[in-house]
Structures are given as structure tokens and as C-alpha cells.
């Protein structure tokens, strides 16, 4: 019972097939990121989320980051229900969204960061190799999460940082100071 709440519905014919008449099925599009198959799966995803979260939160703000995470969860859940004949659980899509989104934290106008290109090539290479091997890994969720992160990065590329300390650093750089003093922060 509990595991089904933390499993995104699958396509028709799956054990956890999407039932559009059940309102709880729509909640599973978001709740599946809270469930994980193993402790290693959970720790792997949490490592990326906890490592990249503060950097992204400072750049985009808490509300925007939470919205990006919820959107990614919904996109991966809907894609799974539409195309994959088995249930899905885990926050891998959110983790990959954050990995690619982090490449955009230092983007300037009209430039694509070199780190984004490297991460994208490594990411896609890994997913192509994985798709031939372990069928328990939701490759579509990883790719969809990466695409969400790329899209969010491009859409928010020119917006100033959200946190107050980041705003003070940006203001100090505009005024010709190398960095603000501790009393400014």
C-alpha cells in the first residue's frame, strides 16, 4: 500500500497502471520522488540534491527551485504513465535536473557554458549506455529531468540572483569593488 503511493503510475498494462478516475493517481505524479527502491538509490539522489541545492537555491530562490523540482516530478511522472509499462519511483529526474541546471549558474548573455556542454555529453553518453543494460533504471526520467534542467537554465539565464547576500555581491561588483566586506553582508 505505502509503496504504491510512492510509485508513479505506469502505462496501460502495468501493475501500477494509471487510473484517471482516481484522484490519488494525480498526486503520485509528485509523490514518486519521495520513494526509492534501495538505500543506495536514496543516498545517491540525496547526495546530488543536498550538494547542488544550496547553490541553486541562492541563484534561483527557494520558491523557484521548489517549483522547478515539482515541475520535473510531474513531467517525469506523466511521461512514465504515458509511455513506460511499469511503475517508477525515485528522485533521479530531479537530481539530473539539478545537475544540468547547476551548469547555468554562471551563464552570461549569449553564451552557453562549456561545463553545460561537457555535462550534457557525459550525461547523454551515460544514459545511452545504461539504456542497453539495466532495465530497472528509468532512463526516460533521467533524460526528462535533464531536459527540464536545461530548459529552466535557458529560461532563467539572465535573471539576477535571488538571495540578499548574492544581490550585495552583485551590487559590489557593479560599483567596482572586488567583493563586499563582511559588514555589508
Domains parsed from the chain with CATH numbers: 2-164 (1.20.1540.10)
What local confidence, expressed as pLDDT, does residue 138 receive?
A: 76
| pLDDT tens figures, 84-111 | 888 888 999 999 999 989 888 777 666 7
Cα–Cα distance list, 51 to 14, 21, 79, 99 (Å)? 35, 39, 27, 10
What local confidence, expressed as pLDDT, does residue 144 receive?
A: 93
pTM: 0.75
Give helix 114-131 / helix 139-155 axis angle, nearest 10°: 160
The residues of the chain scoring below 70 in pLDDT are 1-3, 108-110, 131, 133-137, 158-185
What local confidence, expressed as pLDDT, does residue 1 receive?
A: 53
Amino acid at each position: 500500500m505505502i509503496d504504491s503511493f510512492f510509485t508513479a503510475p505506469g502505462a496501460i498494462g502495468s501493475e501500477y497502471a494509471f487510473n484517471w478516475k482516481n484522484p490519488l493517481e494525480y498526486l503520485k505524479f509528485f509523490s514518486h520522488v519521495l520513494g526509492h527502491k534501495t538505500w543506495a538509490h536514496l543516498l545517491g539522489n540525496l547526495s546530488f540534491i543536498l550538494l547542488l541545492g544550496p547553490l541553486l537555491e541562492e541563484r534561483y530562490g527557494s520558491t523557484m527551485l521548489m517549483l522547478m523540482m515539482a515541475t520535473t516530478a510531474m513531467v517525469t511522472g506523466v511521461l512514465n504513465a504515458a509511455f513506460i509499462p511499469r511503475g517508477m519511483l525515485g528522485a533521479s529526474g530531479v537530481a539530473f535536473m539539478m545537475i544540468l541546471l547547476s551548469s547555468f549558474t554562471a551563464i552570461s548573455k549569449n553564451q552557453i557554458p562549456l561545463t553545460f556542454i561537457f555535462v550534457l555529453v557525459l550525461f547523454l553518453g551515460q544514459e545511452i549506455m545504461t539504456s542497453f543494460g539495466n532495465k530497472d533504471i528509468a532512463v526516460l526520467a533521467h533524460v526528462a529531468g535533464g531536459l527540464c534542467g536545461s530548459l529552466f537554465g535557458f529560461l532563467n539565464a539572465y535573471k539576477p540572483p535571488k538571495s540578499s547576500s548574492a544581490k550585495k555581491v552583485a551590487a559590489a561588483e557593479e560599483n567596482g569593488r572586488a567583493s563586499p566586506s563582511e559588514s555589508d553582508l
